[in-house]
Structure 1
């Protein structure tokens, strides 16, 4: 990271599809593959999510909190099943280049 030890900030998101939860870090403006972690069918706890971020080389930005958004599985279709998306600001650990 060009001589800097400053951690870069990103948005981590978590969503569920077909009953399986997935957490991923959105690496915008890059060709890098987005790091992701797949959970089972149970809703991941706060600790599960923090541990998964750690495995991916990230941690929540101090003071950041998870926010939840409701979306539609099919955009512009009001009777579409609901999709819940959680998001939190995270930072890469020093030395992790993404």
Structure 2
């Protein structure tokens, strides 16, 4: 069963969830979760992944990373990026 990385990010006030599919032709299926003030719930993220044809792998947990929008500039806005391991709903390649 092939595993992929799904990521959740916020840019310009909009939350986006996407899955990184690397290969001969890389793809980034994406779901826009809209402009909401709080981080989308786990249930909302799960529904978005389902809409893209993916699901969380058993025991997977979200990992959060903080990074500066401008590298090496501590006055730059901070961005959050969450990652989790997923698999396709049918267990094969998407």
Question: Do the structures match in fold with TM over 0.5?
Answer: yes
* Counterpart in the other structure of 2:29: 35
* Counterpart in the other structure of 2:71: 75
Q: Per-residue deviation at 1:57? A: 0.6
* Paired residues for 1:16-55 under 5 Å: 16-42=10-36, 43-55=39-51
Which consecutive unaligned segments of at least 5 residues does structure 2 have? Answer: none
Q: Per-residue deviation at 1:28? A: 2.1
- Whole-angstrom CA distance in 1 between matches of 2:9 and 2:58: 22
- Whole-angstrom CA distance in 2 between matches of 1:91 and 1:28: 14
Pair 1:60 & 2:56 matched:
yes
SS in 1 for 2:48: helix
Aligned pair partner of 2:89 in 59, 80, 93: 93
* Contact 1:19 1:41 (8 Å CA) reproduced: yes
Change in 2 beyond 3 A, CA 1:95/1:60:
closer
* Higher Cα radius of gyration: 1
Q: TM-score, normalised by structure 2?
A: 0.89
Q: CA RMSD in A?
A: 1.4
Which consecutive unaligned segments of at least 5 residues does structure 1 have? Answer: 1-6
- Whole-angstrom CA distance in 2 between matches of 1:50 and 1:81: 28
